[in-house]
Chains A and B, each alone.
Chain A
């Protein structure tokens, strides 16, 4: 395992509360490049890590608006401008009849917006990641809780950080190296 760049130090916990506390502490201690791993979304964990906003809702909104407008534009152009046909004496711009498709396209686009932005901002898909180098991470990440302080953090000093983590009473503190 030697000779490979250090990725960070990872503390392993059995209880979410511990992790949460540790995360807060890390933040207090001024660590920025941190991440936590939990088998399920733990209330307030991300905030504890200092995560402000996700960006997902805004994208969703924009996509939605975009979808809706294209929906109406498309129908108006094709039915009233490009090839105006007299359909059973109905007005060319029968906007009430256009509503369903406008709605559907709004929802469709918004849904894509939500999904895509979530993956994009999460940097997924990313099949390869150093955290998997953490011993037993694969066996345990579905049941245990991890706090990772990355080496690239300005305040990261291997001994001090390890000591800091040890204070959080983890099960283990692993040092994880890049491949």
Chain B
């Protein structure tokens, strides 16, 4: 071993430019025993390391940090869907008026808030901004929670018309004190549904109802997430498929680029 130590010292010395005596220079073993083990495990380690890094990047991409799933967003007014939807049982369309007719679901004007809050919680401090907006006429500035890239053209009205329930994308809003994304909104996620609408499409009566995605859809997405049942369609989808037929969804087109991108 001692020999090795001075081999390295010499190596450093050599690096400093000292010339070392040739007797030493011709020392028998250049590398100590353990370097064999090192060398042997080096290659597998390299391969392993690479795959670990790749996996990590991939995981990060789909992590809730990147997708911001379940991370509530600070709002000027801490509006609670839980209270208004679950508590008071207000229908989605009361505030999101254009959801059935326009691409944009619509955010309520201050007026809408004031219809009630001119009567109830008249001087609750948290409603200060609302009252201020009402009196000054200055608009409220809400933070976007579901923000698609600008090159994606999502249209609420058609999805509602075809029987995609609010919960399918926005989750159980009625359990959210502060609004938070429920899905990554990645293209891959959109395609999951566009490739098999019958897993999510429901009769109109269900669309605005705040209950967990119907059993078949949940089951389906579970199966789908495990990459099973592409194409084939067990009976649990019958209801959905019927709805699809009624709605005449042209599912051949749902995978077209032009459906979302222009």
Contact = CB atoms under 8 A, between A and B. Distances in A.
State yes or no: do A and B touch (Cβ within 8 Å).
yes
Interface of A: 81, 83-85, 125-128, 132-134, 136-139, 179
Nearest to A127: B31
Contacts of B35: 127-128
B26 A139 contact: yes
B26 A128 contact: no
A146 B36 CA distance: 23
Contact of A132 (B29, B40, B191): B29
Given A138-B26, A139-B26, A128 B255 contact: no
Interface string B15-40: 00000000000101111110110011
Task: Pick the most buried of A83, A85, A125, A132: most chain B CB atoms within 10 A of its CB.
Answer: A125
A-B interface, 7 closest residue pairs, ranked by CB to CB distance from nearest: A127-B31, A125-B39, A127-B35, A128-B31, A133-B28, A128-B36, A132-B28
Contact of A137 (B28, B33, B230): B28
Interface of B: 26, 28-33, 35-36, 39-40, 42, 191, 230, 255
Given A125-B40, A127-B35, A179-B33, 5 more contacts: A84-B255, A126-B39, A128-B29, A138-B26, A138-B28
A122 to B, nearest CB: 12
A175 to B, nearest CB: 14
B251 to A, nearest CB: 13
Nearest to A124: B39
A127 B30 contact: yes
Contacts of A136: 26
Contact of B33 (A83, A85, A128): A128
B69 to A, nearest CB: 24
Given A83-B255, A179-B33, A127 B28 contact: no
B39 A127 contact: yes
Contacts of B36: 126-128
Nearest to A136: B26
Contact of B32 (A126, A128, A133, A134): A128
A9 B40 CA distance: 27
Contacts of B28: 132-134, 137-138
Nearest to A116: B43
B30 A132 contact: yes
Contacts of A137: 28
Most B-side CB within 10 Å, residue of A84, A85, A134, A138: A138
Contacts of B30: 127, 132
A85 B32 CA distance: 58
15 contacts: A83-B191, A83-B255, A85-B255, A125-B39, A126-B40, A127-B36, A128-B29, A128-B32, A128-B33, A128-B35, A132-B29, A137-B28, A138-B28, A139-B26, A179-B29
